[in-house]
Structure 1
Amino acid sequence: MLRTIIAGLRARTARLVLSSVAIALGVAFVTGTLVLGDAMNASLQDELAKGTRNVDVAVTASGESSGVDGIGPETLAAIRQAPGVAGADARDAQPVPVLTSNGKAKPAWAVSLASNEKLREFDLKDGRYPTSADEIAVDKRTAATAKLTIGQPVVLLGKDDTRHTYTLVGTYQQGTNTMSLSGYDHVGLTPEAFQALQPERPPYQVVATAAAGFTQQQVVDNVRKAIGDKGFTIQSGEELTKEALARVESQAGEFTTLLLAFALIALVVAAMVIYNTFTILVAQRTRELALMRCVGASRAQVFRGVLAEALVMGLTASVIGLFGGIGVSALLQRVIFSFGGAGEGEVYLPVSATTVVAAFAVGTLVTVLAAVLPARKATRVAPVAALRSQPDSGEEVARTGVVRVLTAVLFAVIGIGAIVFGMSADDEETAMLVSGSGTMALLAAVLVLGPLLVGPVNRVLGALPRALFGVPAKLASANAGRNPKRTAATTAALMIGVTIVALVTVVANSAKETANAQIDERMPADYTVTSSVYDRSLPEELATQLAAVPEVAKVAPTTRVFGEREYFTGIPRDAIGDLFRPKVTSGSLADLVDGTVAVNADYVERGNVSVGSVLTIQTGKGDAQQLKVVAVIEGQRLSDGIMTMETSRRFPEAAEGYESILVKLKDGVTNGRAAVERVTDPSPLALLDSAAETKEQLNQQLNQVLAFIWALIGLAVLIALFGIANTLTLSVLERTRESALLRALGLTRGQLRLMLVIESVLMALMGASIGLLLGIGFGWVLTQALTTDTIAVDLVVPFGQIGVMLAGAVVAAVVAAALPARRAARTSVVAGMAEA
């Protein structure tokens, strides 16, 4: 029996290799994801080592609750004098805007560079570290994005917008930390220059290195004796490393989980392709298996023989997928590096034993499990089957139709129930999760009904080709519908991929258009001036200067008030309804006067308030203020509510300046932007924005996310198209005599090729069209789940993108049919008729 299996593998090498491609792609995706996760963890550990290297003791201020909000000079001196301390330096960071080449400020973090070289947490790349108070070094990514070169002046915007100018003397590579992960620009100063930015600000941490002959614990104990532990957290270097690693390692895990979800989809599709492949192979080998039974092979031997072929194919695909996954991981890391701006980074390719075991387990188990049902079917082939042809599965589908319908109904009931429950949920996250699960249950129902849907769908889709191409199209349509189970299994893989792509596309475009509509509703002003640095307010004189511009009709500045759990916007009374247009659901904005507030509908639910309630707002500065709720509003999501400018001035933070300035131009003005820019350009903080620019930026971000998801789901679609090519290739081999007979009856080579191309296109259109319908329907479900009392998400169907998907499916189907059609046309009539 072993020799028979080996001989069978040799005889069907080409078929098995083609089938292995699908599972190899799935394994490569899983392997690449695992390697990427390990690479990110390895990178984190390596980069975190920069921040904790040579650190034997870390002293951190516990915060205001302990009465110690920083580490003063006396404490730093005491640490340096503690026995066993070879050196100690303060560590601190503060947000300090950096001026770009166009004179505008952008957020940046300044850090104090350690005077002790052993305690520096960065790797010098070019130049040198600053040695005087008028020198500066910048992170390599910052230098690349801001186009800075050594020797250039760098200007930081200090307190009260005071400009501090430094000479750039070097660049460095920072390790993995909160600031580097945030993507902010990063600059380094000497301790003296750093302290000069905010002289009253004490550092939050001091790190020290141990002298020779002292252990970390000994130095920790000595430092604790020197400064006490009241108000301080004293850690060893090992403890500091573990804490830092735990703080950032979760981000790599979340990203890996996301990729694994898409890898699972690809594996499901690959499993369906493998299942279909073995089903076809078993059907083609009916006579062979029956003859084996006639010469003495038992059912168990036949079962093991089919599974042995699956095992060999799974092992082969696993090896290919393992090495392919390493390449996928390297590619993904390069893509991630490109998001950082500098486009540089070290590629890690750690291949752990877990990754290798997972690759072979996934590849082999998926293949073997997908082959179990075909293998069981092979054991049921009676020896007498060797004397007759294998019928198509149309009758079998009819016999099992009741079971299929009942199973589909069960999935449909579960899915509809979950959707109804999810859409009635108050929490948006719950609504999305439950409704999304319901759509997947409905997808399962359609998959179960697949063989019963093939006939009607094939007749509808085949009508136009039959009318245009005549006999070849009629034969292609008949071939596509002659074996419903096979066709359904082939198209199901493509249907899953297209459904998910269409679903994501519809939801993303619906969210995009809804956001654009909200921007138009929220921003009736022609322009909005905001601060380029989130914690810096715009100067009040800027609004006065803008109001004096001849082209400007009206100016409305806004302020911000942060409570303990609230965020309110202050706006001039005369701007409400003109430059600021919220929708009122209860109460009246006519009552919005000094000492009152209007709140958002979602804040009403969260804070359990209503019109007439009195809110107590405590900002942390000054006395608490009590404000009466006079209206509930919708349609503006900038904050939890609005108040008049006079009311906001009761709070100290609102008196520091403006959050934004709304600008409305006079009718007929065509060069308004240039006029406004003449006022805003001299201000380093002022950023000019319009509704159109805001929408363009939002659309660009959503399109990037959509393209990323398309790329991930694209692998599943690619595997499905391999399945169509595989099915068509095996069908050509199966129908060799039939094709020869058609040639003998007058069908030309070109008509035979056209028949196979149309058959491939029909199968692709079946999967794509059903997937698109499901994706659009499921998209509607999720948009309804996202709709709340505050915002309505309207369904938007991007017909252009859907057309591209359909066209892509047709083109891919033509390509998939190329080789099978060429093989069928090249086979001579005599050789084809001689096939057994």
Structure 2
Amino acid sequence: MLRTIIAGLKARTARLVLSSVAIALGVAFVTGTLVLGDAMTASLRDELAKEARNVDVSVTVSGESSSPDEVQGISPETLAKIRQTPGVAGADARGSHSVPLVAANGKAKPAWAVPLASNERLREFDLVDGRYPAEADEIAVDKRTAATAKLTIGQPVVLLGKEDERHEFTLVGTYQQGTNQLVLGGFDHVGLTPEGFASLEPERPPYQVVAVAAAGFTQQQVLDNVRQAIGDSGFRLQTGEQLTEEALARVERQSGEFTTLLLAFAIIALVVAAMVIYNTFTILVAQRTRELALMRCVGASRSQVFRGVLAEALVMGLAASVIGLLGGIGVSALLQQVIFSFGDSGGEGTVQLPVTAMTVLAAFAVGTLVTVLAAVLPARKATRVAPVAALRSQPDSGEEVARTGLLRVLTAVLFAVVGVGAIVLGLGMENDDAAMFTSGAGTMALLVSVVVLGPLLVGPVNRVLGAVPRALLGVPAKLASANAGRNPKRTAATTAALMIGVTIVSLVTVVANSAKETVNAEIDQRMPADYTVTSAVYDRPLPEELAEQLAAVPEVAKVAPTTVVYGDQGYFTGVPKDAVGDLFRPTVTSGSLADLRDGTMAVNAEFAKRQGASVGSTVTVDPGEGEPQDLKVVAVVEGQGLSDGIMTIETSMRFPQAAEGYESILVKLEDGVANGRAAVEKVTDPSPLAVLDSAAETKEQLNQQLNQVLTFIWALIGLAVVIALFGIANTLTLSVLERTRESALLRALGLTRGQLRLMLVVESVLMALMGAAIGLSLGIGFGWVLTRALSNDNFSVDLVVPFGQIGVMLAGAVVAAVLAAALPARRAARTSVVAGMAEA
């Protein structure tokens, strides 16, 4: 039996190649994802070593003590005690605080300043160029910060202190950070001497962390000595090993989330590959009816036939796993380059390709298991081939797949009922996350239902899609349409893989475009002003005189400054009374904005629902600093989306935070002004904090970010579509072999080579269009479900169908189908009529 299996593999090598490619692509995606996850973890481990290197003991404020001195921070006196502790070779305080950095263009940007350790062993950065600062008026900046802010060594660097006081330093070096929360958040970073750091805010509270380097003692001994010196009330002491383990656990969780996302797409690709494998073995078993029957006639048992088919699948899975493992390494390298391009590194980064034993085992386990499991049902069908089938001159491979069983229909109905029920339940939920999850699960159940019910859909869809080709292309198209529909199960299995990929692509595309268009409309509704001036640093308000200067510009028709008030229940926006309804347009659901005056407010509908507020009720706003204020609700609004409520700017001035300055300034130009932006920029350019923005620029920025995410998802799910197209090519290739005598007979009856090729191309296009059409219909429908789940009382996502992108997908499916049919059509056309008629 073993020799028979080996001989069969040699005889059908060409037929199994396309299927091996399909499973190899799926394995490559899984392997690439695992290698990427290991590479990210290894990179983070290497970089994290900079933060914890040479740190033998870490002293942190725990915040659990009732002593005010210890809870506030580590005082200079406490730091001095630590330095005098036996076994301590050096100790330096670590801290950071936000500080505006003035870039080369004169505009401020938020950055984090840190004191550089005086002990070289405790410096957590690697010097790149120049040197570290030695004087209080010198500064070093992170390499990425120097690039984005366009700073060069030797030039002055300005940081803004309190009340925008300018602190000038000389740039003496650049450094590379390790992995920490600031790096992972993408923040700019500057380093100063402890004296320079203290000069930014002399009254700043004491430090929160002290790093200790030991000499002549173990880490635990130094920790015990430090605890004895300062006590442990209000402090948390860790050895360097404990600090590293804790940080690694935090970082690995973050990298694991991204890996999980990629694995989800890899699973989709594997499901599609499994469908291709299942379809391939189903066709191969149908084509080998006489061979299997002859084996039964000469003594082969059912179990031997079953094991023989699975052995072929195992060999194919092992071969595909080897290819997929090697390909996955390349996929990982490509994904790392894509990730580098999304950051501010300009595409630069070190590609790491760690291949662990677990990754190798996973590659072979996935490749072989998916292939063998996909071949189980076809292998069972092989055992049912009766020995009498060997007596037939031309076995009909379509007999066993012509009927659709009751079990299939009942299974489809069950999934459909579960899917519809989950969707209805999800749309009725108030929690947005729960609604999305439940509705999404319902759409996936409906997708499974359609896949199971595929054979019943093939006939009607084929008749509709084939009408135009039959009318335009005549006999070849009629034959192609008949071929596509004569074996519904095979056609359904072939198109299901493509349908799944197109469904997910169109679903993501519809939801993304719906969200994008809804946000654009919201920006247009919320920002009727021509320009909005905001602060480059979130915690630095704009000065009041800036609004006065803008109002004095001849090209400006109206200026409306806004303030922000943070209360214990939410945050609120202060606007001038005359700007409401003009430059600020919330939608009123109850009450009237005409009643908005000093001592009153209008609340957002969601805030009103959360707090049980309504027109006529009183809301207490407690800012934490200053006296709480009781404000009467005169209106409930929605659609403005800026805050939990609005009040007049006079009312907001009762709160200390709003009195410090403006959050933004809305600017409306005079009608017909041609150079309005230049006129406004003359006022805003001298201010390092003022950033000029328009609704169009805001939409462009949001759309660009959304398009990047959409392109990344398209690329990930596109692999499943590619595998599905391999499935179509594989099915056509096997069908050409199966229909050799039929093709020869058609040639004998007058069909030309070109018409035979056209027949196979049309058949391929019809199968591709079936999968694409059903997938697009499901994707658009599921998109509507998810947009409804995303909508709530305060924010409604309108369904937007991107017909242009859908047209591109359909055109791509047609082109890919033509390419998939090229080799099978060429093979069919080259077959000799006489040789084809002689096929047994």
Q: Same fold (TM over 0.5)?
A: yes
Cα distance in 2 for residues equivalent to 1:455 and 1:206: 71
Aligned to 1:616: 620
* Cα 1:453/1:208, change in 2 over 3 Å: closer
Cα distance in 2 for residues equivalent to 1:13 and 1:413: 43
The structural deviation recorded for 1:675 is: 1.1
Cα distance in 2 for residues equivalent to 1:273 and 1:495: 12
Match of 1:84 among 84, 87, 98: 87
Match of 1:597 among 598, 601, 610: 601
Match of 2:321 among 315, 318, 321: 318
Secondary structure in 1 aligned to 2:72? coil
Report percent identity of matched pairs.
82
The structural deviation recorded for 1:394 is: 6.6
The structural deviation recorded for 1:103 is: 0.8
Does 2:34 match 1:60? no
Aligned to 1:162: 165
Cα distance in 2 for residues equivalent to 1:147 and 1:752: 64
The structural deviation recorded for 1:211 is: 3.7
Is the CA contact 1:92–1:203 (under 8 Å) kept in the aligned structure 2?
no
Aligned to 1:44: 44
The structural deviation recorded for 1:658 is: 0.3
Secondary structure in 1 aligned to 2:395? coil
Match of 1:334 among 333, 337, 340: 337
Aligned to 1:572: 576
Deviation track 1:623-642 (CA, whole Å, cap 9, x = no partner) reads 22222222211011111111
Cα distance in 2 for residues equivalent to 1:506 and 1:390: 46
Aligned to 2:20: 20
Deviation track 1:112-149 (CA, whole Å, cap 9, x = no partner) reads 11111100001112222111222221111122223333
Secondary structure in 2 aligned to 1:628? strand
Secondary structure in 2 aligned to 1:4? helix
Secondary structure in 2 aligned to 1:126? strand
1:180-219 maps to which residues of 2 (within 5 A)? 180-219=183-222
Deviation track 1:663-689 (CA, whole Å, cap 9, x = no partner) reads 111222222111111111111111111
Question: Which of structure 1's runs of 4+ aligned residues deviate more than 4 A?
Answer: 63-66
Does 2:657 match 1:681? no
Cα distance in 2 for residues equivalent to 1:56 and 1:564: 41
Match of 1:447 among 440, 448, 451: 451
Secondary structure in 1 aligned to 2:154? coil
The structural deviation recorded for 1:57 is: 1.3
Cα distance in 1 for residues equivalent to 2:371 and 2:206: 59
The structural deviation recorded for 1:395 is: 7.4
Cα distance in 1 for residues equivalent to 2:316 and 2:607: 59
* Cα 1:684/1:60, change in 2 over 3 Å: same
Aligned to 1:787: 791
Secondary structure in 2 aligned to 1:262? helix
Q: Which moved more, 1:31-40 or 1:309-318?
A: 31-40
Deviation track 1:527-582 (CA, whole Å, cap 9, x = no partner) reads 11001111110000000001111111111101111122411111111111111111
* Cα 1:646/1:66, change in 2 over 3 Å: farther
Is the CA contact 2:126–2:177 (under 8 Å) kept in the aligned structure 1?
yes
Cα distance in 2 for residues equivalent to 1:235 and 1:152: 40
Cα distance in 2 for residues equivalent to 1:380 and 1:521: 67
Equivalent position amino acid for 2:278 in 1: Y
Aligned to 2:751: 747
- TM-score normalised by L of structure 1: 0.98
Is the CA contact 2:27–2:321 (under 8 Å) kept in the aligned structure 1?
yes
Aligned to 1:413: 417
Cα distance in 2 for residues equivalent to 1:231 and 1:511: 48
Q: Which moved more, 1:763-772 or 1:139-148?
A: 139-148
Is the CA contact 1:105–1:532 (under 8 Å) kept in the aligned structure 2?
yes
Equivalent position amino acid for 2:231 in 1: G
Cα distance in 2 for residues equivalent to 1:203 and 1:280: 75
Aligned to 2:548: 544
* Cα 1:728/1:396, change in 2 over 3 Å: closer
Cα distance in 2 for residues equivalent to 1:66 and 1:593: 45
Secondary structure in 2 aligned to 1:794? coil
Equivalent position amino acid for 1:514 in 2: T
Size of the aligned set, in residue pairs, is: 835
The structural deviation recorded for 1:327 is: 1.5
Aligned to 2:396: 391
Aligned to 2:105: 102
Secondary structure in 2 aligned to 1:282? helix
Match of 2:821 among 813, 817, 823: 817
Deviation track 1:463-511 (CA, whole Å, cap 9, x = no partner) reads 1111111111111111111111111000000000000101111111111
The structural deviation recorded for 1:607 is: 2.3
Aligned to 2:240: 237
* Cα 1:18/1:108, change in 2 over 3 Å: same
Aligned to 2:32: 32
Aligned to 2:77: 74
Match of 2:641 among 634, 637, 644: 637
* Cα 1:208/1:792, change in 2 over 3 Å: closer
Cα distance in 2 for residues equivalent to 1:320 and 1:275: 20
Does 2:260 match 1:257? yes
Aligned to 2:766: 762
Secondary structure in 2 aligned to 1:97? strand
Q: Which moved more, 1:135-144 or 1:695-704?
A: 135-144
Deviation track 1:438-464 (CA, whole Å, cap 9, x = no partner) reads 111111111111111111111111111
Cα distance in 1 for residues equivalent to 2:499 and 2:157: 56
Aligned to 2:695: 691
Cα distance in 2 for residues equivalent to 1:355 and 1:395: 40
Equivalent position amino acid for 2:192 in 1: L
* Cα 1:551/1:682, change in 2 over 3 Å: same
Is the CA contact 2:75–2:207 (under 8 Å) kept in the aligned structure 1?
no
Does 2:830 match 1:833? no
Is the CA contact 1:503–1:779 (under 8 Å) kept in the aligned structure 2?
yes
Aligned to 2:726: 722
Structure 2 residue ranges without an equivalent (≥5):
none
Deviation track 1:506-528 (CA, whole Å, cap 9, x = no partner) reads 11111111111111111111111
Aligned to 2:272: 269
Cα distance in 2 for residues equivalent to 1:651 and 1:665: 31
Equivalent position amino acid for 1:393 in 2: G
Match of 1:149 among 147, 152, 157: 152
Is the CA contact 2:92–2:212 (under 8 Å) kept in the aligned structure 1?
no
Equivalent position amino acid for 2:50 in 1: K
Does 2:511 match 1:507? yes
The structural deviation recorded for 1:830 is: 2.1
Is the CA contact 1:392–1:483 (under 8 Å) kept in the aligned structure 2?
no
